[in-house]
Structure 1
């Protein structure tokens, strides 16, 4: 099944739904003062057309790059659409970037205009970024912008008559998505409108999404995962898109949205899991879930508490999620499906199909996707979502794409005879011990599962054996700070370590675990914007302590 010709691009989709369902609510935006505003499809299209008229009046060079900086909001999506309606190219920036990285992207992309959105300088990089925005770069402030001395979206759209939109050719450049920079400087990944719509086309063939669905947008829209799974799908299928206000109001925002489709990343699925465990300990769960008369009631209550009782399909991606956690959610009755993709193919690669999941495997190739295993066990993928190339870097494009059009993913994988994919690690994550043996950290990390542990990182390059650094959940850290005895927890961590080591070869066995003191966050650079660990940053922080930890000869080392 091909993309509907009246919905060839995201912009086509906007005007399609504005005509078909003009009074249906498209976007729901909560504000810091507690108010909530709805925008219908007709209102969204009208604002986009009016902003496009203003952009046209600026007489920017043809196909100019226009940046968007801010947390997720209704007007972030409208800005993206307005840039396209004026015939230009959008360049999203992560709100958690440091100033140097933001300045680099603005310069590298040759941005001619900046839409400045929802930022407050507390859980984002605004305080650092603001000093790196070129003084001559024009700025338009969206609602909740930290600047009040620039032209404002609402004023501009009130002053302009709607422009006739420029409906783009699907094969033209739509956006430059800069990689999250887990290693080295961000690369500008160029995507056409057609590549962006590949995810909607694939979902249309694999799922039964419709205009009656609902999603909550809270992961960074600057990342292709959220842009593909949430923004693009909402536009293609015409469903209701809700936004989160803050981390403190997240549960309230989730309850408002009652999503029927939900996309998250492993770190947040783990947080949800730990939050439930804090209120309903695993031993009590096991007891209640084994009582036939009440287990279904209890499971429904747990899903309702999570705000996911209306969710018929939930997706997890961006990093591996352990089999234990996936099984826990599926046992609750939530169909948790793994997805796999790269910035370079707009996240369109592999997915677990409803009713066809296989523990330990991501799933099978999406419609139109080809895959094979290349040199060194590296997964190679050819996708309809394939990038046009890296912006201003033809050499890197040739390096990462084979002559026959396959992307070198950097992931090691295995493909079964019936096409199921298993990711076994990152090519660049391998490290050697002092004995010259290679260790692949991801499979070991995935086996270490404890209800008090939020994230783990296996390291130990040039050491006799690997070690494992772990971050306790916020609730457990607070309990320890309040005087909780840690002896019982320490024994549980030792037991978990022993269980993990039973499945390891001799050179992979983890010598000890380190309970780290400092949380790993986006703000301190230890997590990417999609909450994956930045392995190289974490290793740099802790490498200088490795020798001393090995000398302690303990199974659990506490940093505090």
Structure 2
């Protein structure tokens, strides 16, 4: 099935729905004061056209790169569309960047203007970024911007004149997405309108989606996962998109949206799981789930508490989620599907499909995608969503894309007899012990499942054996800080350690578990914006402590 000619780019989609269903609500934006603004398709198209008129009046060079910085909001998406409508290229920045990296992206991308959106310095990096913004860079403030001395979106659209949109060709450059960067400086991944829309074209061949869907946008729109799964899909299919106000109101926002489709990352799926376990302990769940007449009622109640009782399908991606946790959600009746993709192919690579799920794999190739295993078992993928290349870095483009057009993903994997792909780790994550044996961390990490372990990291380069560092959940840390006895938890962690080691080769067996004191966050650089661990940062942070931990010769080591 080909892309609808009336919706061949995301910008075409905006004006298509503004014509077809002008008074239908597209975007619902909550504000800190409790207001919720509903923006119809007609209103969205009008604001975009007026802002495009303003941009045209600035007489920027044709095809200028224009940056967007801010947490998710309705106007983040409208700014993206306005940039395209004026014939320019959008460059999203993660709101959690530090100032130095933000300055690098703005300089490297040659940004000619910045749309500054929802930022407050509490859940983002504004306090650091504000001092690194180039003095000569023009800024337009979106609603909830921290600046009040720049031209404001609301004033511009209130008094501006709508411009005829400059509808792009599918192969025009649409956006430059800077990778979240688990190592080194972020790279600018160039995507055309065609590569972006490929995810919607592929989805319609796998799963029925229509204008009656609802989604909640809360993962960073600067990342291709949210851009592909939420922004592009909502524009292509014309469905209602809701936004989260803050972490404190997340459950309220989720209940307002009652999403029919939901996308999240493993760390948040784990948080949901632990929240339910704190209210309904696993032992009681097991009992209730086995009572025929009660089981269905309890499961529906759990999904309703999560705000996912209307959800037809949910996706998890960006990092591995253990088969045990996926199975738990599926047992509740939630069609949780693991998917796989990268910034370099706009997230369009592999997916488990409804009714064809193989837990523990990322599923089959999406329509139009090819895969193979290269040297050392590295996964290579050729996708309709594949990037045009890295901005201002032809050498890296040649390094990462084979002569016959396959992307070297940097991930290692296995392809089973059914064609399902299993991710076994990152090529660069391998490390050697002092015995000269290689350890692959990810499969070991995936087997360590404790309801109070929020995230884990296997380390131990140049040590006799690997070890595993555990960051406890906020609730578990709070309990311990308030004086709770940790004896039972230590025994449980020790039992989990033994269970994991049973499935390990001798050189992979974990010497001990360390319960770390320092939280791993985006702000301290230990997590990427999509909540993947930055393994090299974590390893470097704890390197000097390793010898002391090994000298203790205990199965569970506490940092506090």
Shorter chain as denominator, the TM-score bin is over 0.9
| Residue equivalent to 1:412 | 412
> Secondary structure in 1 aligned to 2:547?
helix
CA distance in 1, matches of 2:362, 2:114: 38
Q: Which runs of 5+ in 2 are unaligned?
A: none
| Residue equivalent to 1:308 | 308
CA distance in 2, matches of 1:536, 1:21: 49
Q: Does 1:250 align with 2:243?
A: no
| Residue equivalent to 2:135 | 135
CA distance in 1, matches of 2:418, 2:3: 27
- Structure 2 length-normalised TM: 1.00
> Secondary structure in 2 aligned to 1:67?
strand
| Residue equivalent to 1:75 | 75
CA distance in 1, matches of 2:211, 2:90: 26
| Residue equivalent to 1:319 | 319
CA distance in 2, matches of 1:183, 1:470: 21
> Secondary structure in 2 aligned to 1:381?
strand
Offset, 1:417: 2.3
| Residue equivalent to 2:499 | 499
Structure 1 segment 353-392 matched on structure 2, within 5 A: 353-392=353-392
Q: Does 1:240 align with 2:247?
A: no
CA distance in 2, matches of 1:533, 1:377: 22
> Secondary structure in 1 aligned to 2:112?
strand
CA distance in 2, matches of 1:73, 1:478: 31
| Residue equivalent to 1:291 | 291
Structure 1 segment 451-490 matched on structure 2, within 5 A: 451-490=451-490
CA distance in 1, matches of 2:54, 2:128: 29
| Residue equivalent to 1:259 | 259
Q: Does 1:171 align with 2:171?
A: yes
> Secondary structure in 1 aligned to 2:204?
helix
CA distance in 2, matches of 1:456, 1:136: 43
| Residue equivalent to 1:274 | 274
Offset, 1:148: 0.2
Count of residues paired in the alignment? 560
CA distance in 2, matches of 1:207, 1:91: 30
Q: Does 1:149 align with 2:153?
A: no
- Structure 1 length-normalised TM: 1.00
Offset, 1:293: 1.1
CA distance in 2, matches of 1:486, 1:368: 52
> Secondary structure in 1 aligned to 2:293?
coil
> Secondary structure in 2 aligned to 1:507?
helix
CA distance in 2, matches of 1:537, 1:305: 36
> Secondary structure in 2 aligned to 1:22?
coil
1:478-498, CA deviations, whole angstroms, 9 ceiling, x for partnerless residues?
111111100010000000000
CA distance in 2, matches of 1:480, 1:347: 39
CA RMSD of aligned residues (A): 0.4
CA distance in 1, matches of 2:172, 2:39: 29
CA distance in 2, matches of 1:402, 1:450: 41
Offset, 1:159: 1.2
Offset, 1:161: 1.5
| Residue equivalent to 1:109 | 109
| Residue equivalent to 1:41 | 41
Offset, 1:518: 1.1
CA distance in 2, matches of 1:507, 1:418: 31
1:252-286, CA deviations, whole angstroms, 9 ceiling, x for partnerless residues?
00000000000000000000000000000001100
CA distance in 1, matches of 2:369, 2:63: 30
Offset, 1:418: 2.0
CA distance in 1, matches of 2:418, 2:182: 33
> Secondary structure in 2 aligned to 1:527?
coil
> Secondary structure in 2 aligned to 1:175?
strand
CA distance in 1, matches of 2:251, 2:530: 19
| Residue equivalent to 2:542 | 542
CA distance in 2, matches of 1:431, 1:330: 34
CA distance in 2, matches of 1:50, 1:214: 27
CA distance in 2, matches of 1:477, 1:280: 19
CA distance in 2, matches of 1:278, 1:360: 26
Structure 1 segment 387-398 matched on structure 2, within 5 A: 387-398=387-398
Q: Which runs of 5+ in 1 are unaligned?
A: none
| Residue equivalent to 1:183 | 183
> Secondary structure in 2 aligned to 1:15?
helix
Q: Does 1:508 align with 2:508?
A: yes
| Residue equivalent to 1:98 | 98
1:168-199, CA deviations, whole angstroms, 9 ceiling, x for partnerless residues?
00001000000001110000000000000000
Offset, 1:361: 1.1
CA distance in 1, matches of 2:2, 2:485: 60
1:442-500, CA deviations, whole angstroms, 9 ceiling, x for partnerless residues?
00000000011100000000000000000111111111111110001000000000000
What stretches of structure 1 move > 6 A for 4+ residues in a row?
Answer: none
| Residue equivalent to 2:449 | 449
CA distance in 2, matches of 1:196, 1:324: 33
Q: Does 1:345 align with 2:345?
A: yes
CA distance in 2, matches of 1:46, 1:359: 45
1:14-56, CA deviations, whole angstroms, 9 ceiling, x for partnerless residues?
0000000100000000001111110000000000000000000
Offset, 1:416: 1.4
CA distance in 2, matches of 1:45, 1:412: 44
CA distance in 1, matches of 2:327, 2:454: 17
CA distance in 1, matches of 2:9, 2:497: 50
Structure 1 segment 199-214 matched on structure 2, within 5 A: 199-214=199-214
